Amino acid sequence: MARAPYRILDASPHGLRIAWRTEAISAEALSSLGLSRAGAAAVLSSGRLTREGVVLASATSLTPGDVLELAFEPVAPASLDASIPAATLLWVDPLGLALAADKPANLLVHGDGTGQITLSQQVAAAMVQRGIAGAPQALQRLDKDTSGVVLFSLHPEFQPAFDGLVASHDPSRLSKRYFALVEGTMARPEAVDVPIGRDRHNARRMYAGAGKEAHSLFEPLGTLTLASGACATAVSVTITTGRRHQIRVHAAALGHPVVGDLLYGAAPVSGGLMLHSWQETLVHPVSGQRFQVEAAVPSRFPEEARQLAESAKK
């Protein structure tokens, strides 16, 4: 990765101090930091980029050694609703630009108009409790019945940089590893490159065999016997695309649907859908630091499955 034209000196709840390394103009500097054109214009027009206390215009020249201060857009503090439990935060970005939360199963990431409590609301509650500034915006989605790691951006100026990270599907910048139980015995790793599209006959389902490209790698970790007496295989799943229901559709296409996935042909089990967003490794789009985030496999999975996951940690 090419050396960034800047170095982050420090961060506060109010903004960043940045040491500039090259010749540039202010608008170019903000673009290098990952701001969109509209975001950079908003920063500049509101006077939130300064050098030694002087507000910079879009065409102001910068020279190596300049120290810039970028103030975040002011965000009104969220009111704490005592009825909303705080999310479990797995990682908080040292720059204050993002965080990762552990989503329980049976919880929506975003509201759907029904008034159900969402992970986004729980993250906001956790931020109030811990004094973390910003306005959380989910960068990833998980199905309601899937648990695990979800990334959030915290400041609108930098959301495009994180959106670009997630949309890149570049495993050198962002990699996701899931843990699942699938029905039957999977004896060897299986790479699945079957396209995925919407099922024309059932709006709730996706269809394997047509649509957008999708790539998943299933790696068996061991077999176990479910409470029902049926055999299942614990698998680690790595995806390099992010299609809706991707792992569920590809597992079913292999003849090994995810345990508890009634939508794709699995038998009912206690504990629900056995799919968990387990580990995520990301290269921070602003600082360039690498972080690994992990959500422990939850107790709804059988103890033997959790032991297999623990043995397979990377």
The residues annotated with a catalytic role in the active site are: 143
d(CA 202, CA 262): 14
- Do the beta carbons of residue 287 and residue 260 sit within 8 Å? no
d(CA 174, CA 159): 16
d(CA 260, CA 305): 14
d(CA 188, CA 138): 35
The 3-class SS string of 24-73 reads EEHHHHHHHCCCCHHHHHHHHHCCCEEECCEECCCCCEECCCCEEEEECC
d(CA 117, CA 122): 8
- Do the beta carbons of residue 173 and residue 165 sit within 8 Å? yes
Task: Write out the two tokens for 148.
Answer: 């695990």
Question: Which DSSP state fits 226?
Answer: -
**Amino acid letter at 232?**
A
